[in-house]
Amino acid sequence: MNPVHRDFFDGGAGEERTLRDNEAAFRRRRIIPRVLRGTGPRDLRTTVLGTDLSMPLLIAPTAFHLLAHPAGEAGTAQAARSAGVAMVVSMAATQPIEQIADTGAALWFQLYPQPDLDFQARLLERVTKAGVEGIVVTVDSPVLGTRTRDLRNGFTDLPPGLACRNMDGRDIAMDDRLGWPHIDRLRRATDLPLVLKGILHPADAALAVTHGADAVIVSNHGGRQLDGAIATLDALPAVLDAVGGRVPVLIDGGIRTGTDILVALALGATATLVGRPVVDGLARAGAPGVRETLETLRAQLDHALALAGAQRPAELSPDLIA
């Protein structure tokens, strides 16, 4: 990959403290396994907001897949489909949602709240017609994070020929005046499950539920927005407390192995999302590369469940984690 584009995918905001801490938070945990549980073959299946998953993993929304590989977002979706997981399609996808949906993958669509309500309504209508099963609203981006590597590399624009194909020739707007009324309008505008992504503070998790969110994703945007923000795994317990089981709580950031998934689930997450490892798989080998990433994570999770003494993700509990 062009090293400038590699830096775009790998990099974080500021000094990349949060980027590093997401992974470090998982490495700080240890598993206290149970023994002699006679689990037999494991069953990793789960359902999140009506979407069936072969394992508790979704592909996190990431921008610009055509920069990573000519297969683009459709290649990623093809792998999601064959692995039986869902893909959250980024608003900054470089292929049209219809082409991505043609793969037959289970899709959710990620939206940055747009101040132009007419455009936002048209986009919602378009992705709904394409068959997406959920809307993920990213709420951690009133302004763009300071992407140190991109600034150093002068990476500001997509190369000629590439564009955000679902934006009708517009740029994605980030608007620092948007607040909860915008979420209320979105809630009224769609019957699809509405998921708020980028929640870290427990008070915001509680507000998300009262404003009609069907799920929240504990996320700091993979350390690309507020550098110094808390690692997602460290934020998870307080968010779970605030939500109190009313809606599913998902998490992303720093998940690199099946044991990381086990730790997140044991602490109470319903499912996990994975960003950079999927892009890496795509860059390496297109759809088969993404498939390999997903199957590696599945095999690791299955193995970790066996060794920790659980047959199903739902059997995991916080007492397994130190």
Q: Which residues are catalytic?
A: 221
Secondary structure of residue 265 in the 3-state scheme: helix
Selected from 75, 193, 222, 268, the binder of ligand FNR by CB under 6 A is: 222
Q: Which of 78, 138, 166, 293 binds ligand FNR (CB under 6 A)?
A: 138
Nearer to ligand FNR among residue 61 and residue 281 (C-beta): 61
Site residues for ligand FNR, 237-266, by CB under 6 A, read 252-255
Of 10, 55, 8, the closest CA to residue 162 belongs to 8
CB atoms under 10 Å from CB of 151, counted, come to 11
| Residue 268 is labelled as binding a ligand | no
Task: Write down the H helix ranges in the chain.
Answer: 3-10, 17-28, 65-68, 72-83, 97-101, 117-130, 148-153, 180-189, 202-210, 232-243, 258-266, 276-308
Give the one residue of 46, 120, 219, 270 binding ligand FNR; rule: CB under 6 A: 219
H/E stretch holding 271: strand 271-274
List the interface residues with ligand FNR, window 150-179 (CB under 6 A): none
Cα radius of gyration rounded to whole Å, the chain: 19
Please state the φ and ψ torsions of residue 290, each to the nearest 5 degrees: -65, -40
Chain centroid, CA 82 distance in Å: 19
- What is the Cβ-side half-sphere exposure of residue 257, based on CA atoms within 13 angstroms? 11
By the rule CB under 6 A, 22 interacts with ligand FNR: yes
The residue range among 145-153, 156-164, 269-277, 296-304 that interacts with ligand FNR, by the rule CB under 6 A, is 269-277
Residues 6+ apart with CB under 8 A from 24: 231, 254
Least CB distance to ligand FNR at residue 225 (A): 9
Is 12 annotated in a binding site? The answer is no
Q: Would strands 249-252 and 194-199 be described as parallel, antiparallel, or unpaired?
A: unpaired
- Asked whether position 274 contacts ligand FNR by CB under 6 A, the answer is yes
Q: Residues 223, 16: contact at Cβ < 8 Å?
A: yes
* Binder among 147, 197, 291, 298 for ligand FNR (CB under 6 A): 197
129 is an annotated ligand-binding site residue:
no
Residues 90-109 that bind ligand FNR (CB under 6 A): 90-92
Of these, 76, 94, 110, 259, which contacts ligand FNR (CB under 6 A)? 110
Residue 113 binding ligand FNR, by CB under 6 A: no
Q: How far is the CB of 84 from ligand FNR (least distance, A)?
A: 19
The Cα 192–Cα 26 span in angstroms is: 32
| Closer to ligand FNR by Cβ: residue 278 or 310 | 278
Please count the residues of this chain forming the interface with ligand FNR, following the rule CB under 6 A. Answer: 23
* Contact (CB, 8 A) for 186 and 113: yes
Residue reference for tokens 């359902």:
47
Minimum distance, C-beta of residue 197 to ligand FNR, in the bound complex (Å): 6
Annotated binding site: 61-63, 90, 110, 112, 138, 147, 197, 219, 221, 224, 252-256, 275-276
Annotated binding site for FMN: 61-63, 90, 110, 138, 197, 219, 252-256, 275-276
Annotated binding site for glyoxylate: 112, 147, 221, 224
Applying CB under 6 A, the residues found at the interface with ligand FNR are 9, 22, 60-63, 90-92, 110, 138, 197, 219, 221-222, 224, 252-255, 274-276
